[in-house]
Amino acid sequence: MGLFLFEVTMNVYVNLKPNNYDGESDLLTIEVPSSYSEEILQHVRPIAEQKNTSQDKILKDIFREAVNEIQRRSYERKGRKNKKR
């Protein structure tokens, strides 16, 4: 008799195309491990109740805004010069 452990993941598919954009769209697939699923949903549920909308929509909005914020940021250090050795 064998013991099998299956980790259940939550898959979320997010369309990153802005509403008024007619070009190609990017579909982002996010695989959330089960160890994080409940923690994320603890943030999603109250927002969905407050906004009177589905948890799925709120979850996708959170991921979409996170991607947009990361793309917006500049991770390069400004004004840094290479030291001569």
Q: Cα dist. 67→15, 16, 28, 50, 81 in Å?
A: 11, 8, 10, 23, 29
Quick check: 16 pLDDT over 80?
no
67 is in which domain, residue-wise? 34-72
Number of domains in the chain: 1
Q: Specify the 3-state DSSP secondary structure of 72.
A: helix
Q: Of 18-22, 28-32, 36-40, which one has max mean pLDDT?
A: 36-40
Whether 2 is covered by a domain: the verdict is: no
Whether 68 is covered by a domain: the verdict is: yes
Whether 59 is covered by a domain: the verdict is: yes
Q: How confident is the model at residue 53 (pLDDT cuts 50, 70, 90)?
A: very high
Quick check: 9 pLDDT over 70?
yes
